[in-house]
């Protein structure tokens, strides 16, 4: 079951099933791209970088793939916005790492996200045990966050890192939709 998605975010295909043979940061075998020069919090972008107004006109962020490398303890998330691709990496478990890597991937797409990760955890005792992500504003009360206290996202996925990424995008639905609608 996929979560409901508001304007500004669309779930893509599950990790490793895009079939783009490298366009989403994979190596053709659908394993994450391993860039030995990248740190655990690295971001990278391919294709033309998008600007602050890129979400206007109906453009939507798509989840291309998400992977957790247990041997290295890193999560990697690849997103797309039109022709641009952004990849974020974070060293943490698949839940917190997936959420943080999603925020880094949005940064790689030049999308300002005025929120930071508070928590990412599994909702135990709930059918399907979805992942719940909580984001808080970096600057409480500023105009960008519209006075928001916290943003919540809930999602399931084929893996913990996919569910965490989807939940993070879900938590940002209103922010991304407002960014898209802004003049």
CATH number for the domain harbouring residue 20 = 3.30.160
Tokens 């994450």 locate to 32
Higher-confidence residue of 181 and 74: namely 74
Whether the per-residue pLDDT at 43 is higher than 70: the answer is no
* Cα separation, 72 vs 35, whole angstroms: 12
**Looking at the domain assignment, is residue 3 inside a domain?**
no
Whole-prediction pTM: 0.70
Helix (H) or strand (E) holding 152: strand 151-155
Residue 91: its pLDDT value, please? Answer: 96
**Percent of all residues in the chain with a pLDDT value above 90, rounded to a whole number:** 50
Q: Are 81 and 63 in contact (CB under 8 A)?
A: no
Average pLDDT of the residues in 117-121: 97
> 155 falls in which pLDDT band (50, 70, 90)?
very high
**Looking at the domain assignment, is residue 4 inside a domain?**
no
**Looking at the domain assignment, is residue 73 inside a domain?**
yes
Q: Are 120 and 90 in contact (CB under 8 A)?
A: no
3-state helix, strand, coil in the chain (%, to 5): 25, 30, 50
3-state secondary structure of 177: helix
Whether the per-residue pLDDT at 130 is higher than 80: the answer is yes
Q: What would the two tokens of residue 52 be?
A: 């602050």
Please count the structural domains in the chain.
Answer: 1
Domain boundaries, position 164:
9-181
Residue 149: its pLDDT value, please? Answer: 77
**Looking at the domain assignment, is residue 108 inside a domain?**
yes
**Looking at the domain assignment, is residue 159 inside a domain?**
yes
């Amino acid at each position: 079951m996929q979560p409901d998605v508001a304007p500004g975010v669309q779930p893509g295909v599950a990790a490793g099933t895009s079939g783009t043979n490298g366009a989403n940061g994979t190596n053709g075998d659908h394993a994450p791209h391993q860039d030995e020069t990248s740190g655990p919090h690295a971001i990278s972008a391919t294709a033309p970088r998008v600007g602050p107004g890129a979400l206007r006109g109906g453009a939507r962020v798509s989840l291309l793939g998400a992977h957790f490398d247990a041997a290295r303890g890193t999560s990697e998330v690849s997103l797309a916005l039109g022709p641009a691709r952004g990849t974020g990496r974070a060293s943490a478990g698949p839940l917190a790492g997936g959420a943080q890597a999603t925020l880094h991937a949005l940064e790689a797409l030049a999308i300002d996200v005025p929120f930071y990760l508070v928590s990412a955890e599994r909702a135990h005792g709930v059918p399907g045990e979805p992942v719940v992500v909580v984001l808080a504003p970096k600057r409480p009360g500023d105009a960008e966050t519209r006075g928001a206290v916290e943003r919540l996202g809930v999602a399931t996925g084929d893996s913990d890192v996919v569910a965490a990424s989807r939940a993070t995008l879900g938590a940002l639905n209103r922010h991304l939709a407002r960014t898209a609608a802004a003049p």
